[in-house]
Amino acid sequence: MKDSLGNAYPVLAAKLRKFPIASLPTPVSRHQIKTSAGTRNIAIKHDDQTSELYGGNKIRKLEYIFQRAKDRGAKRVATFGAVGSNHALATAIHAKQLGLECTCFLAHQVRTPDIWKTLNAHLELGTEIIRWGGSVKRLELYRRYLQNRKTWVIPLGGTCWLGAVGFVNAGLEIAAQVESGEVGSPDRIYIANGTMGSVAGLAIGLALAGLPTEIHAIRVADNRFVKRDVLDRLMRKTATLLNRLDPSIPTHAATRTKIIWRDDFYAGGYAAVDDATVRAVDFARENLGLTLDTTYTGKAMAALLHDIEISNSDSSYLFWNTYSSRPLPTLKDGNRALRDLPEQFARYLE
């Protein structure tokens, strides 16, 4: 089951390799939650455990992306995100393990309690951190830090058709766990929707497996990055390119998806927090033994808790935990923080 997609489509597996950095399949746990309407059953898919080094949903994407970078002779990878980006940190951690240098173009964001930990981890890893966004002249930056350095560029959030394939694998993985009896077939899956690659791949994977599950995609990022029409294009492109590699994969898988687009827990902005998000994070910690973040997974959990509270049905719910539960690398020399960090980011360490 380590490669559910490859097992289902061996022709594809022979043509589309991945660098095996993920510990798959990730486990599923079952829980009961008491609501005013009665007791509800939920399951949790623990993608917080995709790697012993640093987990979360990005690891599934990076398996395919890193393999492509290695195949093309890259010596460095570069990617983008906000200061507290889990994707940027996951890229930096796993790139170092693979012997690749890493450049992260990072933009300002709303300050959250864990940003300083993320920045300290980058400094300990030796990540090249470059200020990005706003009035920064991007073309000039790209020429300076990307050209002539054998760099493989990874898009924001690792979202591209190749990254989405990692979650096609995830959709087939959960289907296999349903078939084995490890978990019941979920009527709904709740997952944070940032740059949409996880949602796109998961939806295609479920469609290929024939599971009738609804994906409740909880938007957590600005509409400049998260748009339904862009998601649809990404799914069509992913299915089309998989079909070219293995004609037994139907292109119409992208049109058989069941996605419920949710804007109602956005909380007013990326990394912005409202009472529902805080309550959801607290509830998950106290009742489910989960450590969630307020930027992504807390909002997805808030949506699930809201829905089971008002539901009168016996629907089965699954929460996809995309937030790493592994400890971060710790900066051993505190004086390096202000010395090595771009001046614009020093305020996050205060």
Strand bridging mode 317-321 / 38-46? parallel
Going 139 to 145 to 146 to 152, the CA torsion angle's sign is negative
Distance CA(132)–CA(320), nearest Å, equals 30
Rounded Cα distance between 41 and 278, Å, is 22
User: In which band, very low, low, confident or very high, does the pLDDT at 73 lie, cut at 50, 70 and 90?
Assistant: very high
CB 183 within 8 A of CB 43: yes
pLDDT at 334 over 60: no
CA angle 179, 49, 269 (to 5 degrees): 105
Confidence of residue 38 (pLDDT cuts 50, 70, 90): confident
Q: Determine if the peptide bond prior to 327 is cis (ω within 30°).
A: no
Of 54, 58, 104, nearest in space to 82 by CA? 104
Mean pLDDT of the chain: 94
User: What is 141-198 written as a DSSP string?
Assistant: HHHHHTTTTTEEE--GGG-SHHHHHHHHHHHHHHHHHHHHTSSPPPSEEEEEESSSHH
**Regarding beta strands 28-35 and 38-46, do their DSSP bridges make them parallel or antiparallel, or are they unpaired?**
antiparallel
The distance in angstroms from the start CA to the end CA of the chain is: 45
The pLDDT of residue 336 is: 58
Tokens 């007013």 locate to: 268
pLDDT number for residue 333: 60
Q: Are 308 and 35 in contact (CB under 8 A)?
A: yes
Give the SS3 label for residue 107: strand
d(CA 123, CA 129): 9
Confidence of residue 346 (pLDDT cuts 50, 70, 90): confident
Least confident of 64-73, 81-90, 98-107, 306-315: 306-315
Share of the chain above pLDDT 70, in %: 97
> What pLDDT does residue 332 have?
66
In order of start, what are the domains of the chain with their CATH numbers?
4-57+160-321 (3.40.50.1100), 58-158 (3.40.50.1100)
Model confidence at 189: pLDDT above 60: yes
What pLDDT was estimated at residue 350?
73
**pLDDT tens for residues 52-70?**
999 999 999 999 999 999 9
Mean pLDDT check: name the lowest of 3-7, 94-98, 223-227, 262-266: 223-227
pLDDT at residue 225 greater than cutoff 80: yes
Q: How confident is the model at residue 341 (pLDDT cuts 50, 70, 90)?
A: confident
- DSSP code of residue 33: E
- Give residue-wise pLDDT tens across range 129-154: 999 988 889 899 999 999 999 999 99
Are 301 and 319 spatial neighbours (Cβ–Cβ below 8 Å)? yes
User: Which is more confidently placed, 37 or 127?
Assistant: 127
Q: Pick the closest to residue 67 from 18, 24, 12 (CA basis).
A: 18
pLDDT over threshold 70, residue 96:
yes
CA 272 to each of CA 4, 71, 222, 266: distance values in angstroms, whole numbers, following the listed order: 36, 39, 11, 8
Which two tokens mark 296? 């992504």
- Cα(288)–Cα(267) distance, rounded to whole angstroms? 23
Among candidate residues 109, 114, 259, the one with its CA nearest the CA of residue 196? 259
* Short-list 231, 240, 229, 236, CA closest to 254: 236
The pLDDT of residue 149 is: 97
> Order of strands across the sheet with 151-153?
128-131, 101-107, 76-82, 151-153
